[in-house]
């Protein structure tokens, strides 16, 4: 967003960042094996595409470096106010301005506010009795404690989602024993991450058309999954067969196979990929526990069958606050109600995931219902940036001050996407997931193809808004 504002000649803007460096999720998550599960050729900006990625699925340090480089090169870093966590704000109708306050007590006044807070940055710790009594070392995967030496220790991992499957193979090699507490097994497809040969990197770097073709092939390959996810879940069966085969070829023990076999349709939860995860679970020093955790004591985890599992270290791989993540964005809109209370009352409704009625001049990047289970969210974010630029243009070119989506437009949009989501695998696949809010409504995923989102957002339609 900042790069595009600069490109368009805007200089009167700042970026508030709660941390002290650039990188977001790729700064916070430093666990061993942390990598992107979308190929880098697509999980990168179209205006900063690169042929130099060292692997097909790049690891966290390389992505963090990429983001830092762009931020410096494009003159964004100097626009960032680091260590400024937004704690509250309100819209002043008389001034047509947002007043924002950060944790350090600083105040900012802005005509437009763009939220780029992301969905996966507030670690979720499980609500298990006794976790505060644990006397050993414990940390969340998103706050990896690199000072903890796992060598020879009895390590427990709670959770088996996208983060866990990436670090479990590393932990298994170091730990004396590893106990993995699994609530719901994930579907895991085979995946071998390739180092991109130097010659290919050179070609991709030097000949932009090859890079573009490679990016397109990744894009369209991923898009084809959208059919199966959105209402044609039978199309997911062949993929499910591959995932079953992946369990069968990696796990010899029938009891462990049974534990690892999901009972829901693939795609209902995020589809994972790894060639190392199952072998790590099958290793002699690993035990997979699928009994419910009852409590944590000073030195053990006790499961519902009454068994106490002694451990030295607990790693929580229990994900993030996603649909309730917006609870931290305490912005009071035009009617004086703050966004979390408003959304708790009405449901998390927006227009295109970008604007929400009653909150003028507030825009979201990667807002509600614009996350993806099948392609790169960077694509979605770029469409949102273009749309927001057009919205700002529409206000400025009219000599107006504020823009607010019309309630009926927002209602129509939400009815439409919820109607589509009702047919999707996330609702019908037989699982619960962090895509759904506490009422079971999908507030996270975009239903359909991403090119449909491109089409829906390519024009800013002033008639859908009150511009004054």
Q: What does the alpha-carbon distance between residue 394 and residue 466 come to, in Å, rounded to a whole number?
A: 11
- Token pair, residue 137, equals 């070392």
Radius of gyration of the chain (CA): 23
Q: What is the DSSP letter of 328?
A: G
Contact status: 162 vs ligand NAP (CB under 6 A): yes
Contact status: 1 vs ligand NAP (CB under 6 A): no
Q: What does the alpha-carbon distance between residue 303 and residue 158 come to, in Å, rounded to a whole number?
A: 12
Stretch that binds ligand NAP, among 30-38, 281-289, 406-414, 440-448 (CB under 6 A): 30-38
Residue 67 CB, nearest approach to ligand NAP (Å): 14
Contact status: 375 vs ligand NAP (CB under 6 A): no
Contact status: 323 vs ligand NAP (CB under 6 A): no
Contact status: 233 vs ligand NAP (CB under 6 A): no
- Token pair, residue 314, equals 């607990």
Contact status: 406 vs ligand NAP (CB under 6 A): no
Contact status: 36 vs ligand NAP (CB under 6 A): yes
* Contacting residues for 224 by C-beta, under 8 A, at least 6 apart: none
- Token pair, residue 451, equals 């090119």
Quick check: 352 and 414 in contact, CB under 8 A?
A: no
Q: What angle do CA 192, 448, 433 make, to 5 degrees?
A: 65
Quick check: 62 and 54 in contact, CB under 8 A?
A: yes
Spatial CA neighbour of 161 closest among 15, 239, 59, 272: 272
Contact status: 294 vs ligand NAP (CB under 6 A): no
Contact status: 259 vs ligand NAP (CB under 6 A): no
Q: What is the DSSP letter of 179?
A: E
* Contacting residues for 195 by C-beta, under 8 A, at least 6 apart: 54, 55
Residue 64 CB, nearest approach to ligand NAP (Å): 13
Pick the closer one to ligand NAP by CB: 5 or 131. 131
Contact status: 317 vs ligand NAP (CB under 6 A): yes
CA distances from residue 91 to 99, 328, 365 in whole angstroms, order as listed: 6, 17, 19
Contact status: 319 vs ligand NAP (CB under 6 A): yes
Q: What angle do CA 65, 18, 39 make, to 5 degrees?
A: 35
Quick check: 265 and 228 in contact, CB under 8 A?
A: no
Q: What is the DSSP letter of 369?
A: T
Contact status: 23 vs ligand NAP (CB under 6 A): no
Site for ligand NAP (CB under 6 A): how many residues? 23
Residue 445 CB, nearest approach to ligand NAP (Å): 11
Contact status: 429 vs ligand NAP (CB under 6 A): no
Residue of 68, 74, 183, 259 interacting with ligand NAP (CB under 6 A) = 183
Residue 293 CB, nearest approach to ligand NAP (Å): 6
Residue 182 CB, nearest approach to ligand NAP (Å): 7
Residue of 18, 32, 37, 330 interacting with ligand NAP (CB under 6 A) = 37
* Contacting residues for 217 by C-beta, under 8 A, at least 6 apart: none
Contact status: 160 vs ligand NAP (CB under 6 A): yes
Contact status: 184 vs ligand NAP (CB under 6 A): yes
Give the residue at shortest CB distance from ligand NAP: 161
Contact status: 273 vs ligand NAP (CB under 6 A): no
Residue 146 CB, nearest approach to ligand NAP (Å): 18
Contact positions vs ligand NAP (CB under 6 A): 35-37, 120, 126, 141, 158-164, 166, 183-184, 270, 293, 317-320, 434
């Amino acid at each position: 967003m900042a790069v595009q504002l600069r490109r368009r000649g805007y200089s009167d803007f700042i970026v508030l960042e709660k941390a002290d460096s650039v990188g977001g999720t790729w700064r916070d998550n430093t666990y061993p094996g942390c990598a992107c599960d979308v190929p880098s050729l697509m999980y990168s900006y179209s205006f900063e595409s690169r042929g130099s990625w060292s692997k097909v699925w790049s690891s966290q340090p390389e992505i963090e470096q990429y983001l830092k480089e762009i931020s410096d090169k494009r003159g964004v870093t100097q626009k960032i106010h680091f260590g400024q966590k937004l704690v509250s704000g309100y819209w002043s109708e008389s001034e047509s301005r947002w007043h924002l306050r950060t944790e350090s007590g600083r105040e900012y006044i802005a005509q437009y506010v763009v939220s780029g807070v992301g969905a996966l940055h507030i670690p979720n710790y499980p609500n298990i009795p006794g976790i505060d009594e644990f006397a050993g070392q414990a940390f969340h995967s998103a706050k990896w404690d690199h000072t903890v030496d796992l060598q020879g220790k009895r390590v427990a991992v709670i959770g088996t989602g996208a983060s866990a499957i990436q670090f479990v193979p590393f932990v298994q090699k170091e730990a004396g024993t590893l106990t993995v507490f699994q609530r719901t097994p994930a579907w895991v497809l085979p995946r071998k991450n390739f180092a991109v040969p130097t010659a290919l990197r050179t070609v991709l770097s030097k000949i932009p058309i090859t890079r573009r073709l490679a990016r397109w092939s990744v894009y369209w390959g991923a898009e084809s999954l959208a059919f199966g996810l959105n209402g044609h879940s039978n199309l997911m069966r062949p993929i499910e067969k591959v995932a079953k085969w992946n369990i069968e070829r990696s796990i010899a023990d029938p009891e462990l196979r049974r534990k690892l076999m999901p009972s829901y349709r693939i795609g209902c939860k995020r589809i994972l990929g790894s060639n190392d995860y199952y072998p790590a679970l099958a290793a002699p020093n690993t035990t997979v526990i699928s009994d419910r955790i009852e409590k944590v004591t000073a030195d053990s985890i006790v499961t519902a069958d009454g068994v106490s599992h002694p451990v030295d270290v607990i790693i929580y791989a229990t994900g993030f606050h996603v649909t309730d993540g917006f609870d931290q964005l305490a912005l009071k809109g035009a009617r004086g109600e703050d966004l979390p209370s408003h959304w708790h009352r009405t449901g998390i409704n927006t227009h295109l995931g970008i604007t929400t009625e009653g909150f003028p001049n507030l825009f979201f990047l990667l807002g509600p219902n614009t996350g993806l289970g099948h392609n790169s969210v960077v694509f979605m974010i770029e469409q949102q940036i273009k749309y927001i630029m057009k919205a700002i243009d529409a206000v400025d070119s009219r000599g107006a001050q504020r823009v607010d989506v019309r309630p009926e437009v927002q209602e129509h949009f939400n009815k439409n996407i919820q109607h589509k989501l009702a047919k999707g695998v996330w609702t019908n696949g037989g699982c619960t997931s962090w895509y759904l809010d506490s009422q079971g409504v999908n507030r996270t995923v975009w239903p359909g193809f991403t090119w449909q989102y491109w089409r829906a957002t390519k024009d800013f339609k002033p008639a859908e808004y009150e511009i004054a």
